[in-house]
């Protein structure tokens, strides 16, 4: 069964929603002030304390520094999701298991995923993460099956996630904007519930 990651959690109400609906992964945006979903280290600590321990926590970052990765490790995140740039040295020395994000703008963006030796998972996102925009999923159909956890993100909603799972059978699907309240103040309980149900029940 395809797993589910709900990303961009930022307040206790979001955590209550997640604890009730039990996705497999919970994502928290950190050290990226351009995002309205960005939270502070203190807020992350408070929310992690509330999160059901059966749900894996993921710190979502963009081109993190060594100090930021150390803070993420100290907070006790299960994974760190890395967008942007990071040196091979820093990647190999990271103490928290890494999910490497690839922003797909074309087939050339995908490259050889076998080269990512120091990561546990790979997340394929749209060219502009968090934008709610999708990309051509068919580009991923020929990816070699390996031991990496393959996450699909970018423009997923409760309406299209079943199709995405049926087409690609990824390890997990990832959603943020697709399950937000209209005012972007947090997650919409019913949208999250429907998204999880549709992802897990896809044939």
The DSSP result for 158-170, as a single string, is TTTHHHHHHHH--
Residue 22 near residue 5 (C-beta atoms within 8 A): no
Residue 125 annotated to the active site: yes
Given the residues 14, 24, 125, 174, select the one marked as catalytic. 125
Contact yes or no for 170/152 (Cβ under 8 A): yes
Asked if 83 and 63 touch (Cβ cutoff 8 Å), the reply is yes
Give the active site residue among 7, 14, 17, 94.
Answer: 7
The yes-or-no verdict on residue 62 having pLDDT over 80 is yes
Q: For residue 26, give the nearest of 42, 45, 38, 10 by alpha carbon.
A: 10
Q: Which helix (H) or strand (E) holds 173?
A: strand 172-175
Look at residues 144, 103, 102, 98 and name the one whose alpha carbon lies nearest to residue 118. Answer: 98
pTM for this entry: 0.92
Q: Which CATH superfamily is domain 3-200 in?
A: Aldolase class I (3.20.20.70)
pLDDT tens for each residue of 18-55: 999 999 999 999 999 999 999 999 999 999 999 999 99
Q: Does residue 74 carry a pLDDT above 70? A: yes
Matching residue, tokens 């690839």: 102
């Amino acid at each position: 069964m395809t797993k589910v990651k709900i990303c961009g959690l930022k307040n206790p109400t979001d955590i209550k929603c997640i604890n009730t609906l039990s996705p497999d992964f919970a994502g928290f945006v950190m050290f990226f002030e351009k995002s309205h979903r960005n939270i502070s280290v203190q807020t992350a600590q408070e929310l992690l304390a509330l999160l059901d321990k059966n749900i894996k926590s993921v710190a979502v970052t963009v081109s993190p520094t060594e100090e930021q990765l150390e803070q993420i490790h100290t907070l006790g995140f299960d994974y760190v999701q890395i967008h942007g740039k990071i040196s091979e040295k820093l990647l190999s020395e990271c103490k928290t298991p890494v999910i490497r994000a690839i922003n797909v703008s074309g087939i050339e963006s995908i490259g050889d995923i076998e080269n990512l030796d120091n990561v546990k998972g790979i997340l394929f996102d749209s060219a502009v993460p968090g934008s709610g925009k999708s990309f051509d999923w068919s580009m991923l159909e020929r990816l070699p099956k390996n031991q990496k956890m393959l996450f699909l993100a970018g423009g997923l909603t409760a309406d299209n996630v079943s199709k995405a799972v049926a087409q690609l059978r990824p390890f997990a699907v990832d959603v943020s904007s697709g399950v937000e309240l209209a005012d972007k103040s947090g997650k919409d309980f019913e949208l999250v519930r429907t998204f999880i149900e549709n992802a897990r029940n896809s044939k």
